[in-house]
């Protein structure tokens, strides 16, 4: 496991008290390249696939951008990348001197994903763990991200090679854990939480996705998957619940059509406490408003 970045005894940044990768001789965290000035890095993780981690990453980026921040998304879900599809982006990243330029969404979010580099978007990525991990590192070292207030990292699900690489190699400021109601009761989420804690990365809190369906006639919340376990999970883990999102067919439709940037529905409104928590964590580090 990576050195504990909150308790680094080698460099300990005097302002934040955390490991400063640029001055720490013992760190494995990669420094930023000369073509990037990224102020705050947040990873979105989940225990299992399909719980809505990419949708939450995309909505978080959209919400931050609507508040006036410059935002990018690094799609670290190398074997199941869905960020380009959610934003309807197909442009191949261009080369700029020795760097790759991220693609831009219609409203100006910057994104980098392996899917943008494949000859066909449905080509499978049949790579072994070390190659997957090195691709993620290159999305940090070889991409000219420019000036960003926030970089959102859409992690692959679980606790395998690639999430471990992201935690060890990228200077994550915090993580957010997304899960579905059934998933929260299981140990997969606790594994996620333990992994982040062992890596010394602060966890902002929990997001329960697909928690309920709001009846279109009376607004009653129908718990399709039975009662949520988010409060219990919050109590057991000591983490705050930052958002409880409904099943929203409009979100799925707009994501499938590549128009998630135009989404205005309930999931975005319910995500506001998460956005506040992200901004607050950045402000603590000294990142000013855009």
Known binding-site positions for ATP = 47-54
Q: Give backbone dihedrals phi and psi of 177, rounded to 5 degrees, phi first.
A: -110, 125
Query: What is the token pair recorded at 140?
Result: 């940090």
Candidates 174, 179, 185; CA nearest to 244 is 179
Query: What is the token pair recorded at 51?
Result: 């719980």
Give the nearest distance from C-beta 118 to ligand ATP in angstroms: 16
Of 176 and 247, which CB lies nearer to ligand ATP in the complex structure?
A: 247
Give the nearest distance from C-beta 12 to ligand ATP in angstroms: 35
User: Which residues sit at the interface with ligand ATP, rule CB under 6 A?
Assistant: 46, 49-55, 77, 80, 82, 157, 209-210, 245, 247-248, 251-252, 255, 267
> Over 111-168, what HEC string results?
EECHHHCCCCCCCCCCCCHHHHHHHHHHHHHCECCEEEEEEEEECCCCCCHHHHHHHH
Binding region: 47-54
Give the nearest distance from C-beta 225 to ligand ATP in angstroms: 12
SS3 content of the chain, % helix, strand, coil (to 5): 35, 20, 45
CB 237 within 8 A of CB 23: no
Of 17 and 49, which CB lies nearer to ligand ATP in the complex structure?
A: 49
Of 158 and 200, which CB lies nearer to ligand ATP in the complex structure?
A: 158
Of 99 and 139, which CB lies nearer to ligand ATP in the complex structure?
A: 139
Of 29 and 271, which CB lies nearer to ligand ATP in the complex structure?
A: 271
The residue behind tokens 């959209």 is 62
Give the nearest distance from C-beta 159 to ligand ATP in angstroms: 13
Give the nearest distance from C-beta 169 to ligand ATP in angstroms: 20
In sequence order, which residues have a C-beta less than 8 Å from that of residue 147 and are 6 or more positions away?
A: 37, 70
């Amino acid at each position: 496991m990576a050195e504990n970045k909150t308790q680094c005894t080698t460099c300990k940044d005097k302002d934040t008290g955390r490991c400063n990768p640029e001055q720490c001789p013992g760190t494995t965290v990669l420094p930023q390249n000369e073509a990037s000035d990224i102020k705050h890095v947040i990873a979105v993780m989940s225990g299992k696939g399909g719980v809505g981690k990419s949708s939450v990453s995309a909505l978080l980026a959209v919400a931050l951008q609507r508040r006036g921040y410059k935002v990018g998304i690094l799609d670290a879900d190398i074997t199941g990348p869905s960020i380009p599809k959610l934003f309807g982006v197909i442009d191949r990243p261009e080369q700029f001197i020795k760097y790759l330029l991220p693609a831009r969404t219609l409203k100006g979010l910057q994104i980098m994903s392996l899917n943008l580099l494949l000859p066909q978007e449905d080509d499978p990525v049949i790579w072994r763990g070390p190659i997957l991990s090195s691709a993620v590192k290159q999305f940090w070292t070889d991409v000219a991200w420019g000036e960003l207030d926030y970089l959102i990292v859409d992690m692959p699900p679980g606790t395998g090679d690639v999430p471990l690489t992201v935690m060890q190699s990228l200077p994550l400021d915090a993580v957010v854990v997304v899960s579905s109601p059934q998933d929260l009761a299981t140990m997969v989420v606790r594994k996620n939480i333990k992994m982040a804690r062992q890596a010394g990365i602060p966890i902002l809190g929990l997001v329960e996705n697909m928690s309920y369906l709001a009846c279109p006639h009376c607004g009653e919340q129908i718990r399709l998957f039975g009662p949520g376990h988010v409060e219990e999970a919050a109590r057991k883990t000591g983490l705050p619940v930052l958002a409880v999102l409904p099943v929203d067919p409009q979100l799925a439709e707009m994501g499938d059509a590549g128009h998630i940037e135009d989404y205005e529905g309930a999931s975005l409104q319910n995500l506001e406490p998460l956005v506040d928590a992200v901004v607050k964590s950045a402000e603590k580090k000294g990142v000013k408003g855009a």
